[in-house]
Amino acid sequence: MLRPSTALNRPLGDVRTSCPESPVAPSAPQAEAASPKKSPVGLLTPDEVGLRLGVTPKALERWRGSGEGPLFVRLSRKTIRYRAADVDTFVNGRVVASTAA
């Protein structure tokens, strides 16, 4: 005969975790690794823009070279950022009703 689980027989308010002494929380390095770095001043990193547009940062780099992509801000020789309004303008400028040219 099967014995009912004791967890099922407890009142709902008495639900406990397997280790009540040590609450489970994600560690800081894991939380940071899961999300791209946030840029100060409301500027977006190429990683953040890539996630928004569904493209790789390498594609954004190619677009910057050819002038096809959204406007960008060059903070230094190697530091590129995007304004959210410029990314939105880029997307809005590519809305089409038909594939016919």
- What is the pLDDT at residue 89? 97
HSE-CB for 32 with a 13 A CA cutoff = 5
Query: Which of the 8 DSSP states describes residue 75?
Result: S
Query: For residue range 2-41, what is the model confidence (pLDDT) as tens digits?
Result: 555 555 555 555 544 444 554 555 554 454 445 556 655 7
Distances from the Cα of 23 to the Cαs of 14, 27, 42, 71, 84, in angstroms? 16, 12, 34, 45, 37
Burial of 57 (0-12, 13-18, 19+ CB in 10 A): middle
pLDDT (mean) for 64-75: 96
| Sequence-separated (6 or more) residues with CB below 8 Å from residue 62 | 68
Q: Are 53 and 10 in contact (CB under 8 A)?
A: no
